Amino acid sequence: MVTKIVITCIYLSVIFYLGFKGWQSTKKSTDYMLAGRQMNPFIMAMSYGATFVSTSAIIGFGGAAGLFGFPLLWLTLATIVVGVLIAMVFFGKRTRRMGLALESHTFPELLGRRYDSKFIQGFAGGVIFLFIPVYAAAVLIGISRMMEISFGIPYDTALILISVILAGYVISGGMKAVMYTDAFQGLIMAVMMIILIISTYAMLGGVTEAHQTMTDMVNLMPAKLQKGGMIGWTQGAKFGTPLWLVIYTTIVYGVGIGVLAQPQLAVRFMTVPSDRELNRAVLYGGIFIPLMTGVAFLTGALSNAVFYKAAGKISIAVAGGNMDKIIPMYIEQMMPSWFSALFLLAMLAAGMSTLSSQYHVGGTALGRDFFERFVNVPQEKSVKITKIGVGITLLAAILWAWVLPPSIIARATAFFFGLCAASFLPIYLLGLYWKGMTKKAAKVSMVGGFTASMFWLLFVHAKEAKAIGLCKALTGMDTLVSSAAKGSWIWLLQWVDPNVVALPVSMALAIGVALITPKMNKEHLKLCWANI
């Protein structure tokens, strides 16, 4: 315990020093919002990766891999192809160039100025400010659970402690402090994950033996999971069953595609001075992100074999039915004590790097995207309001972390990724590549995608619809399709992720309305494409 406390204190000292350096070099709003647009490619890539891969990925989705096994590795493939290659090469370069031409400081501001619309900027800022606390809560739960198990401190105390630490450097230092600390935290995460996967395979006798052991454990798959369609941890789920739909529509598709429209990630493309930095960042990100997610998912699945070999129980049984505790308990019970202390730092790093970015983007959504545009406050004052917005986002995340149920991390993350994709991805993509995209089409697509996503979430998707209860209150049914014949395609819709329906709706609205509405002013389009 003393070792953990000493190592944690050293780590926090470095974090506060980097936060201080960020604060020291933050002189104007561009510094606070975009790190002065002069960020080093390595720091940018590590910040992007550390923001993308948080405790929600390592603990939340790692825990989900403890239930669903190796099929989650398809999400790792998606993070490489979509989250790194497509995001940085096809979205990143044009985002940086157009953002510079339009003098945009935030993701909603980029959308608003591309379409010359205060409404688009304000609506996008409102969606982010209102819903990013749910995603932040998922990350906060992950890091707090780790502290609860590692230090034995109460969960509620851990929530407050982490939040106070984050508030210290995010509110004062802005984007520079966030990215400096992200890069340092990303390095810690990478080293710990390499040690973790090597140790896990060593405990099981090597790669081949470990995977064969998992295959042979097929008869230990819990009955509840078998009923939902699971066969085994290496075999996956039967095609078209409820759990197959959860794995591939919510986790792989929802998160894998949703990464392209994440405001806290997209804004990082605008922090580097040229395309050359983005090209270099692809290499760094292409190594870091699959290392993080691949190790987390492999370890989560293999923890079943390790636990069974040591204690005669699979992971979910050891964790008391809460999959968010699988990875923390695996680290505490199966790894050496010295590694447990260091891995706690990796989780602190993973959680704090993502939370700092979430709080920052939530604050800028309030200050820059709402007050500066709609209340017409001066730029200097909007920075102060942004800092207040960071504080409000932080408090909202704490409240969500208190009230959300167990095993929620992966679901809450997928919810925010999907909502952003449905609301923003079509107008973001088409805005970067198609001059024929119009202001009216962008408005209809954004509002339509958001509405479709929320409707499916509240009235069709079983996990959220049952928990929220609005559908039950209005119709007397848990979901609008729950009364359909069990096993029918209509009945199965309640396990289809909202984004599977909402994103195509949003894209169809964008293209359809753009084809029948007046094109945007040629001079404005010339400005948008000035650097492209």
pLDDT of residue 24: 60
| Sign of the C-alpha dihedral computed for residues 358, 164, 337 and 318 taken in this order | negative
> What are the b/e assignments for 64-80, b being 16+ CB within 10 Å?
bbbbbbbbbbbbbebbb
Residue 198 neighbours by CB distance under 10 Å = 11
pLDDT of residue 94: 94
Rounded Cα distance, 245 and 243, in Å: 5
| For range 395-416, the mean pLDDT | 80
- Whole-number Cα distances in Å, 387 to 32, 169, 260, 310: 10, 11, 26, 49
Q: Which residue has the tokens 């792989």?
A: 252
pLDDT above 60 (res 32): no
CATH of the domain at 264: 1.20.1730.10
Instruction: Tell me whether residue 198 is in a domain.
Output: yes
pLDDT above 60 (res 330): yes
Count up the domains in the chain and report the number. Answer: 1
Rounded Cα distance, 237 and 217, in Å: 15
Q: Decide: 416 and 60 in contact? Cβ < 8 Å.
A: no
DSSP H or E run through 397: helix 379-403
Instruction: Tell me whether residue 235 is in a domain.
Output: yes
Instruction: Tell me whether residue 350 is in a domain.
Output: yes
pLDDT above 60 (res 523): yes
| For range 239-263, the mean pLDDT | 90
Instruction: Tell me whether residue 171 is in a domain.
Output: yes
Instruction: Tell me whether residue 477 is in a domain.
Output: no
Instruction: Tell me whether residue 376 is in a domain.
Output: yes
pLDDT of residue 171: 60
pLDDT of residue 211: 94
Rounded Cα distance, 297 and 300, in Å: 5
Tell me which residue range forms the domain holding 17: 2-461+496-528
Instruction: Tell me whether residue 486 is in a domain.
Output: no
**Which of the two residues, 227 and 340, has the higher pLDDT score?**
227
Instruction: Tell me whether residue 87 is in a domain.
Output: yes
Residue 145 neighbours by CB distance under 10 Å = 25
Q: Which residues pair with 230 in a beta bridge?
A: 237
| pLDDT tens digits for range 454-484 | 999 999 998 888 878 889 899 999 999 988 8
Q: Decide: 196 and 296 in contact? Cβ < 8 Å.
A: no
